[in-house]
């Protein structure tokens, strides 16, 4: 009985770690997308300003 509980707990912890890693990976992708769009917007603004001066 105790060994089964330990095994279930171990499986649960492994699952949580995998989920956490998956979520962190998704957040990195989202952050990179945000950074890229921010860069693109700033680049447009910079080029617009440069054109006028």
Any idea where the domains of the chain sit in the sequence? 26-53
14-53: pLDDT as tens digits: 999 999 999 999 998 888 888 899 999 999 888 888 887 6
| The pLDDT of residue 4 | 94
Global confidence as pTM: 0.57
Sign of torsion, CA 30 31 35 36? negative
| Distance between CA atoms of residues 11 and 29, nearest Å | 27
- How far apart CA 28 and CA 26 sit, in angstroms, is 5
d(CA 53, CA 38): 23
């Amino acid at each position: 009985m105790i060994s089964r509980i330990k095994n279930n707990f171990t499986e649960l912890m492994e699952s949580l770690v995998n989920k956490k890693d998956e979520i962190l990976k998704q957040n990195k992708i989202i952050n990179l997308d945000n950074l890229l769009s921010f860069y693109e917007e700033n680049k447009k603004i910079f080029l617009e300003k440069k054109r006028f001066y």
